[in-house]
């Protein structure tokens, strides 16, 4: 992954600032000691034996278009970044150019074919990244100066609460990326004055986490058991995936593929499955997608047609539905596993 230093420098134009923050920092594009979640259940134990490679799973994707979205040919886009077990979809979409020459963006919630547009008051840019099964969402917003990325939560009933900034500095970002059923929020923050590190926001307070030996640490997913998924950058310049369990144990996500590197672990569901990407050489644009269960020690390769590939992986629910942004960086994709046909007797 390229350095994220571009995400906190002074931007040459509002348009570049918006696209860098909304599709650069926020979605972590490929181009660029205690449990966390208040669960009384005993934590899962990590697999102690070698990883078992399961048969590849085929996925097919459907493009999502939002009514009122600015057309792609006019510079518009749709971010599809979150999905829950009810099938509720969340993200952000470009609406119209503004007088200051950058695109306006609104967040959206699509539940039971009903569209709700979300805008943080006073913010020209609003997006949503995660949604839990209670229909609470977590997202981000930018104010007119476009120099600081802020985060917020919104309840099912529409109550918006802005989070205090987790990082200081003129060009800082506080990116909340996931919220679980207990209302715990995880994400990443950083600035030109502070390192990029992960955080947990619970009961109005931040707890920070830095992976041992990391230059950068990112949290992306959080399940209802309190397990967190993310990735970290070491001094070698390569990203590695990990899961921080509810018991505070760090489990590496290591695809059993010769030469695999640049492992970006995104969402984690309640089954303990993480969805991510890895590369084997510099020509594998976007990387190979996979599902891995670090508790059971299983690895499942994902098979897709090229047009169904995801440049940005957002969320995954317990049914295995995955959402994200396509390789054009403008189209939201709803990706589902292909069900094998049931064979009947005599066929």
**Four-CA torsion 65, 304, 73, 140, nearest 10 degrees:** 60
Position 29 scores a pLDDT of 36
Identify the weakest region by mean pLDDT among 72-86, 124-138, 313-327.
72-86
How large is the average pLDDT for residues 172-178? Answer: 96
CA distance 23 to 158: 25
Which pLDDT tens digit goes with each residue over 271-294?
Answer: 999 999 999 885 556 689 999 999
**Nearest-5° angle of CA 130, CA 131, CA 133?**
150
CA distance 261 to 241: 10
CA distance 251 to 263: 13
Identify the weakest region by mean pLDDT among 38-42, 122-126, 266-270.
38-42
Token output for 103: 């695109």
Position 38 scores a pLDDT of 39
The model's confidence at residue 1, banded by pLDDT at 50, 70 and 90, is very low
Strands 52-53 and 298-303: parallel
Position 49 scores a pLDDT of 56
Looking at the DSSP assignment, which residues form a beta bridge with residue 116? 109
The model's confidence at residue 31, banded by pLDDT at 50, 70 and 90, is very low
Residue 187 pLDDT greater than 70, yes or no = yes
Token output for 45: 């134990």
Where do the domains of the chain lie, and which CATH numbers do they carry?
A: 4-32+34-337 (2.120.10.30)
* Closest listed residue to residue 80, CA positions, set 92, 94, 62, 68: 92
């Amino acid at each position: 992954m390229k350095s994220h230093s571009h995400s906190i420098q002074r931007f040459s134009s509002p348009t570049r600032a918006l696209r860098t923050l909304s599709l650069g920092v926020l979605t972590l594009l490929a181009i660029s000691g205690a449990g966390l979640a208040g669960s009384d259940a005993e934590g899962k134990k990590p697999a102690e034996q070698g990883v078992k490679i399961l048969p590849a799973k085929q996925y097919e994707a459907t493009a999502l278009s939002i009514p009122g979205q600015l057309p792609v040919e006019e510079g518009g886009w749709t971010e599809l970044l979150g999905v829950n077990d009810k099938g509720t979809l969340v993200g952000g979409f470009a609406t119209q150019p503004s007088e200051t020459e950058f695109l306006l963006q609104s967040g959206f919630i699509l539940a039971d074919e009903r569209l709700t547009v979300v805008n943080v008051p006073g913010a020209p840019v609003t997006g949503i990244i995660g949604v839990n099964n209670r229909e609470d969402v977590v997202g981000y917003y930018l104010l007119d100066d476009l120099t600081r990325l802020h985060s917020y939560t919104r309840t099912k009933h529409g109550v918006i609460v802005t989070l205090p900034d987790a990082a200081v500095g003129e060009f800082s970002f506080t990116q909340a990326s996931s919220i679980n059923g207990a209302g715990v929020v995880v994400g990443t923050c950083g600035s030109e004055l502070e390192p990029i590190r992960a955080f947990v926001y619970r009961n109005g307070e931040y707890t920070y986490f830095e992976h041992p030996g990391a230059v950068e640490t990112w949290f992306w997913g959080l399940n209802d058991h309190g397990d967190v998924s993310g990735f970290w950058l070491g001094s070698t310049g390569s990203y590695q995936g990990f899961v921080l369990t509810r018991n505070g144990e760090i489990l590496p996500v290591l695809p059993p593929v010769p030469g695999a590197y640049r492992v970006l672990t995104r969402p984690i569901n309640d089954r303990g499955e993480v969805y991510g990407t890895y590369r084997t050489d510099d020509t594998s644009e976007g990387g190979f997608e996979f599902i891995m269960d670090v508790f059971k020690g299983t690895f499942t390769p994902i098979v897709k047609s090229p047009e169904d590939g995801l440049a940005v992986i957002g969320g995954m629910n317990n049914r295995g539905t995955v959402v994200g942004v396509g390789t054009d960086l403008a189209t939201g994709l709803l990706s589902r596993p292909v069900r094998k046909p049931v064979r009947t007797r005599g066929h």
